């Protein structure tokens, strides 16, 4: 603070000591403030690496694992001071699947079995739409319900059954699950098709489908799609379908499976979580 008045006179007027005045002026040099200045670049780095998706709980974990223990409130304060605000996942919008077809519908076994304790016990699958400036790109994926890992995915220009069967083939090739795995999906024609049912039977995988008109039965898959669209596509609509597919690849294989912290996994990535079972 610059002033034309003598410091001694100001201190007497305000009834404070000169030592207290100078100590106040040097507060930014205190140990805690010095620590804040060291933490802030690391905080920014982790925030950017998370695709601007991490809030204070996840950033606290990230800093702690780098050897910088700090409280969640402190991280939240530093985020506010730096103007760092995590992207908010879009609100889940219930939708029902178009299931007006003549194929058989599987029992909803997912609602009748315990939560999986190990990987490769329950998989969930679904399809979503990704907008591009060339039109819709469709994404099918299969997710392990224990580790939240995306074990297979496929994109296509149309909603043909090929997309879900290719996803299932890739998942089985990668994982090699034992017979008895439960595969849950909605009632869409792609999953109820004879081709998909035959493939599941050949792999000795039990089919399970959501109840009619109840999108919450497949909420884990829907939640992933909301996360994907927030963290991989929030910056704008891709110019081409090829660009959108590349963004999906980079997000799933380069971030979500390998690095993204999940609160349900004690703030581990799916890959790190599964490593404890190997």
Which two three-digit tokens encode residue 23? 């100590």
User: What digits encode the pLDDT tens for the residues 153-182?
Assistant: 999 999 989 999 999 999 999 999 999 999
What is the pTM (predicted TM-score) of this model?
A: 0.80
User: What digits encode the pLDDT tens for the residues 97-151?
Assistant: 555 666 789 999 998 999 999 999 999 999 999 999 999 999 999 999 999 999 9
Laid out side by side, the sheet with 150-156 consists of: 150-156, 135-144, 122-132, 182-185, 206-209
DSSP readout, 177-232? PPTT-EEEE-S-HHHHSHHHHHHHHHTT-EEEEPPTT-GGGGHHHHHHHHHHHHHH
Q: What share of the chain is helix, strand, coil (3-state, %, to 5)?
A: 50, 15, 40
Of 190, 195, 206, 189, whose CA–CA distance to 108 is shortest?
Answer: 206
The alpha carbon of 150 is separated from its chain's Cα centroid by a whole number of angstroms, namely 11
Which residues lie below 8 Å from residue 275, measured CB to CB, with a gap of 6+? none
């Amino acid at each position: 603070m610059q002033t034309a008045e003598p410091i001694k006179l100001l201190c007497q007027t305000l009834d404070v000591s000169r030592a207290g005045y100078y100590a106040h002026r040097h507060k930014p040099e205190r140990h805690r403030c010095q620590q804040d200045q060291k933490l802030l670049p690391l905080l920014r780095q982790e925030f950017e690496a998370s695709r601007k998706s991490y809030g204070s709980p996840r950033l606290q974990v990230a800093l702690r694992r780098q050897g910088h223990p700090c409280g969640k409130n402190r991280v939240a304060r530093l985020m506010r001071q730096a103007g760092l605000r995590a992207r908010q996942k879009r609100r889940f919008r219930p939708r029902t699947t178009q299931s007006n077809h003549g194929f058989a519908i599987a029992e909803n076994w997912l609602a009748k079995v315990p939560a999986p304790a190990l990987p490769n016990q329950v998989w969930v699958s679904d399809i979503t739409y990704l907008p591009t400036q060339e039109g819709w790109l469709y994404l099918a994926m299969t997710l392990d319900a224990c580790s939240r890992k995306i074990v297979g995915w496929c994109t296509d220009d149309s909603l043909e059954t090929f997309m879900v069967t290719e996803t299932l083939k890739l998942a089985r090739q990668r994982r090699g699950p034992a017979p008895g795995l439960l595969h849950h999906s909605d009632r869409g024609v792609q999953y109820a098709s004879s081709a998909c049912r035959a493939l599941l039977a050949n792999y000795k995988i039990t089919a399970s489908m959501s109840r009619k008109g109840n999108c919450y039965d497949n909420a884990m898959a829907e939640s992933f799609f909301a996360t994907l669209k927030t963290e991989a596509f929030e910056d704008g609509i891709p110019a081409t379908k090829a660009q959108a597919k590349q963004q999906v690849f980079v997000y799933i294989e380069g971030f979500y499976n390998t690095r993204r912290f999940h609160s349900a996994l004690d703030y581990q990535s799916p890959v790190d979580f599964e490593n404890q079972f190997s």
